[in-house]
């Protein structure tokens, strides 16, 4: 892929196949729910769906050092709340060591062996209600972002669809796949 490059041979703007490093603060309903402040910028390959679609779309054309406020609707974020992703489960089907309290997060294997996250939203005498929706489903997301760096993705990163950090070990990834 050909990019417009600066004097250091780095991409000038955010476009597909560019590794974007980004500082962000995510606010929902007036409350900060996530930020890169503590761990530093996140890095991802633009155009590969590694971040939520509404944010990724708004980054195109931004330059290193540029900041922007981005509002993302629920549909372009973590999705709308799906009533079918809420289920009532008999408490006898749960392991005895799980605290039956509203707000407890569980990891549950479905019939295909996939691990799903759920939150207990209601506790009854013989049943609990589990919500499998993402905790931010149905929420308007407010991002304040700053592009901290841009670089071309390596052919290996493009092939794998994600950024490799300095500690990347190809043999380790092959074992995982």
- Structural domain boundaries of the chain? 18-78+137-160, 83-131
Instruction: Give domain 18-78+137-160's CATH number out of 1.10.1760.20, 3.30.930.10, 3.10.50.40, 3.40.630.10.
Output: 3.10.50.40
* Residue pLDDT, tens place only, 67-124: 999 999 999 999 999 999 999 999 998 888 899 999 999 998 888 999 999 999 999 9
pTM listed for this prediction = 0.81
Q: The domain at 83-131 falls in which architecture?
A: Beta Barrel (2.40)
Confidence class for position 165, pLDDT limits 50, 70, 90: confident
Phi, psi of 53 (to 5 degrees): -55, -40
Q: What is residue 161's predicted lDDT score, i.e. its pLDDT?
A: 93
Per residue in 15-25, pLDDT tens? 999 999 999 99
Mean of pLDDT values over 166-173: 54
User: Contact at 8 Å (CB) between 14 and 20?
Assistant: yes
Rg (CA), the chain: 20
* Domain pair 18-78+137-160 / 83-131, same fold: no
């Amino acid at each position: 892929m050909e990019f417009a490059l600066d004097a250091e041979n780095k991409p000038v703007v955010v476009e597909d196949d560019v590794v974007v490093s980004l500082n962000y603060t995510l606010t929902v309903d007036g409350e900060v729910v996530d930020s890169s402040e503590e761990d530093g910028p996140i890095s991802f390959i633009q155009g590969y769906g590694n971040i939520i679609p509404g944010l990724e779309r708004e980054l195109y054309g931004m330059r290193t050092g540029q900041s922007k406020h981005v509002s993302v609707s629920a549909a372009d974020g973590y999705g709308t709340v799906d009533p079918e992703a809420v289920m009532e489960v008999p408490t006898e089907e749960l392991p005895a060591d799980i605290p039956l309290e509203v707000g407890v997060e569980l990891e549950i294997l479905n019939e295909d062996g996939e691990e799903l996250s759920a939150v207990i939203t209601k506790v009854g005498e013989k049943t609990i209600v589990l919500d499998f929706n993402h905790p931010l489903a149905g929420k308007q997301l407010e991002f304040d972002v700053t592009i901290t760096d841009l670089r071309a993705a390596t052919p290996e990163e493009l092939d794998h669809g994600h950024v490799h950090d300095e500690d990347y070990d190809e043999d380790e990834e092959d074992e995982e796949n």
